[in-house]
Amino acid sequence: MGEIIEITFWMWIVAIFAFAPLGYFIYIFTKGSGESFGKSNPADHSVEQTKYYQVIDDVLSKILGKG
């Protein structure tokens, strides 16, 4: 019976440390504005607006012979 209690105790310790980052994220997220990730503007995160998109596109077009 002592082994079961000890294993349960250590499982709780491991679970607390494993889920602590998730709990911290939820705490910080709800402390702020609480705006959902889904409510962000998808145009702000498009590939075409990244810094290196044009350079990568030019290199790939030269490699593939489409430029």
Cβ atoms 19, 26 nearer than 8 A: no
In 1-67, alpha helices (H): 2-31, 53-64
**Does residue 14 surpass a pLDDT of 90?**
yes
Total domains present in the chain: 1
pLDDT in tens, 35-66: 555 555 656 556 565 667 778 778 888 888 87
Count of alpha carbons within 13 angstroms of residue 44, beta-carbon side: 5
Name the CA radius of gyration of the chain, rounded. 24
What 3-state DSSP class applies to 66?
coil
Q: Quote the domain boundaries for residue 55.
A: 2-64
Cα 5 from Cα 7, distance rounded (Å): 6
Instruction: Indicate yes or no: pTM above 0.75.
Output: no
